[in-house]
Chain A
Amino acid sequence: MLQNSSNSTEAKKTDFVTIGRIQEFSELQPRTFELGKTSVGVVLFKGQFYAYRNSCPHQEGPALEGVIAGKTECEVFEGGNRREFVSKERFNIVCPWHGVEYDLQSGICRADDRMKLRKIEVITENGDVRLRSI
């Protein structure tokens, strides 16, 4: 079965390289792989794989070598009172150099949507996790 984590369903199987078995990944525990000279980080979240270039657009830090943290959110009540909480549904990739955060599913920077992690196509096939070659 070919399952896509991104939109392309047309890709040829030969365009992909296997990086490991599905069971070798733990939820929200990023792993990094070298594709040629490019470092790529892969994260498993709710059965779906997400892969990005391991380079923070802020200062080129190793964005996928830090933690995945629950997104801090804020609920506003009538009258303006607030309650801040850490989401258990939305998670951010946190670059370990400066703490710059990116939405795990879109790669868009939490603070500035001009900054975005570069997405890499990732598929699962016969229990393998495969990245599109760069």
Chain B
Amino acid sequence: MLQEDGTISNYHYRHVRGGLDKAAAQAEARNLYDLLIVDCDVHISEPYTLFVKSLPESYRKTLPLEDQEDPLYSKQRRISQKTAMYESRVRRPEISFPQEQSADEIIDEFARRMLDLGMKHSLIIPNMIVRLPMDPRPSNYEVEIAKAYVEFNLTNFAKYPEILSVIYVPTKDPQRAAEIIDDYGSEKGISGALISVLTPKRAGTDDWNPIYEAAQKKNLPIIIHGDAIHEEERGWLFGDFPNLLPVHALSFPITIARAITSIVFDGVPERFPNLKFVFMEGGVTFIPWLMQRLDDDYIKRGYEAPLLTKLPSEYMNEFYYTTQPLESAHKNQLKTFFQMFDYENKLLYASDYPHWDFDAPSVIYDLPFLSMTAKKKILGENAAKLFKLN
């Protein structure tokens, strides 16, 4: 169990059938417990209903409720029922996910898993509230949920140095979003400002300048996490796909590529030169593809991006990327993809646990072309530097 003084008491493997025992055995066999491992993308079943209950009645009643429940919650439940993880093929028997969990359950689960797998820190990334930009309710609703979310994190997790969390940025109201970053950005454990990829606005819009300015002032990285686009959000691009396989395969790197393309061509790094960016869950192989693509177009149409002072790939080399889901079906080619960007200093290990495509730390540790120095950096040292961890 995680103690409030930051120590973790001993915990033995749980021997839960279908659980993480083998990941713990991997950690033991590879001496991963001796390494600094930071899991930069882990999810919980955030207690959304708790956030909603903390809001004034006026916000809750702005739309008719479906099945007497909040529309976002009902929707998440439908998504959970439909996606592959919850068709009993993929199982997480060691936890209660996707049921909502109490803070105590979350902390206990984190302590067990981190100890088993050798992780020293885990960064919680929100799950269902990232769909709020597509929610038709007024911007106030998103702002209030964002405040309830960060309050929940601070109340429950700030006392544990192992558990890191983020501010969810309510982009519908950039001014109030900036105020939230200003109010909470220096709080213990707050490690980034997370922007959903499911925003109608592009990431480089001038409308978001207050957000970037506030994050830069607080020295808080902007985190952009890819997403599978569900149901009506799929639109013409993904709408006709019948199931998750094609949507998931494309939408995570594509939604991130959309964000990066805008951030680069709109010159955000030139306008906010001290701002750091982290892009999550796009895998790795899209990075060199997008670099080549953006460079090639920029060379021919640079007049449409006058703020740029260098090639798009050079900006991209300054961004951070999480490793998961590492595309390892063709391991021999993976080395080439890695070598096409500053992988050693800009990749951050992430598990994405408990999702169906999670990666254990061994996925990085076992890559035969990485030096031990590179493994250590990717598994934790890069994150420790970025998030200023002790």
Cβ of B89 and Cβ of A59 under 8 Å apart? no
What's the minimum C-beta distance from A36 to chain B, rounded to whole angstroms? 14
Residue positions of B touching A, CB distance < 8 A: 17-19, 21-22, 26, 84-85, 88-91, 93, 329, 356-360, 362-363
Could you tell me which A residues sit within 8 Å of B by CB distance?
32, 55, 59-62, 65-67, 69, 94, 96-99, 112
Residues of B with C-beta under 8 A to A65: 17-18
In this complex, which of B18, B91, B359, B363 has the most chain A Cβ atoms within 10 angstroms of its Cβ?
B18
Q: Chain A interface mostly helix, strand, loop or mixed? A: loop
B90 to chain A: which residues have CB within 8 Å?
66, 94, 96-99
Q: List 23 A-B contacts (CB under 8 A).
A: A32-B17, A55-B22, A59-B360, A59-B362, A60-B22, A60-B26, A61-B22, A62-B18, A62-B21, A65-B17, A65-B18, A66-B18, A67-B88, A67-B89, A94-B89, A96-B89, A96-B90, A96-B91, A98-B356, A98-B358, A99-B89, A99-B356, A112-B329
Given contacts A59-B363, A67-B88, A96-B93, 10 further A-B contacts (CB under 8 A): A55-B22, A59-B359, A60-B26, A62-B22, A66-B18, A66-B89, A66-B90, A66-B91, A98-B90, A99-B90
Q: How distant is the Cα of A66 from the Cα of B329 in the complex, in angstroms?
A: 22
Chain B residues in 8 Å Cβ range of A98: 90, 356-358
Question: With the chains together, A85 CA to B369 CA distance in Å?
Answer: 42
- C-alpha gap A43/B85 in the complex (Å): 23
> Which A residues are CB-close (under 8 A) to B21?
62
Which residues from B are CB-within-8-Å of A96? 18, 89-91, 93
Number of A-B residue pairs having CB atoms within 8 Å of each other in the complex: 44
Q: With contacts A98-B90, A99-B356 known, is A60 near B18, CB below 8 A? A: no
B241 to chain A, nearest CB (A): 14
B327 CB, min distance to chain A CBs, angstroms: 12
Q: With the chains together, A9 CA to B90 CA distance in Å?
A: 37
Cα A62 to Cα B13 with chains together (Å): 14
A5 to B265 CA separation, bound complex (whole angstroms): 62
Q: For the complex, give the distance between the alpha carbons of A32 and B356 in Å.
A: 22
Residues in chain B near residue A94, CB distance under 8 A: 89-90
**CB of A32 to closest CB in B, whole Å:** 8
Residue of B nearest to A92 (CB): B89
Q: Roughly how many angstroms separate A61 CA and B21 CA in the complex, as a whole number?
A: 9
Chain B residues with CB under 8 Å of A59's CB are 359-360, 362-363
CB distance from B384 to the nearest CB of A (A): 25
CB distance from A61 to the nearest CB of B (A): 6
From residue B39, how far is it (CB to closest CB) to chain A in Å?
A: 16
Residue pair B84, A99 in contact (C-beta under 8 Å): yes
Residue of A nearest to B20 (CB): A97
Cα–Cα, bound, A98→B245 (Å):
13
Residue in B closest to A32 when the chains form the complex, CB atoms:
B17
CB distance from B357 to the nearest CB of A (A): 6
* Bound: A69/B87 CA distance, A: 11
Smallest CB-CB A-B distances: 8 pairs: A96-B18, A65-B18, A96-B91, A99-B90, A99-B89, A94-B89, A65-B17, A62-B22
Contact of A60 among B356, B357, B358, B362 (CB under 8 A): B362
**Given contacts A62-B18, A62-B21, A65-B18, are A97 and B89 in contact (CB under 8 A)?**
no
Q: Which residues of A contact B356 (CB under 8 A)?
A: 98-99
Question: Hey, which chain A residues are within 8 Å of B357, CB to CB?
Answer: 98
| Complexed CA–CA distance, A38 and B7 (Å) | 33
Instruction: Give the complex CA separation of A62 and B93 in angstroms.
Output: 12
Q: B14: shortest Cβ distance to chain A, in Å?
A: 13
Min CB gap B118→A, angstroms: 15
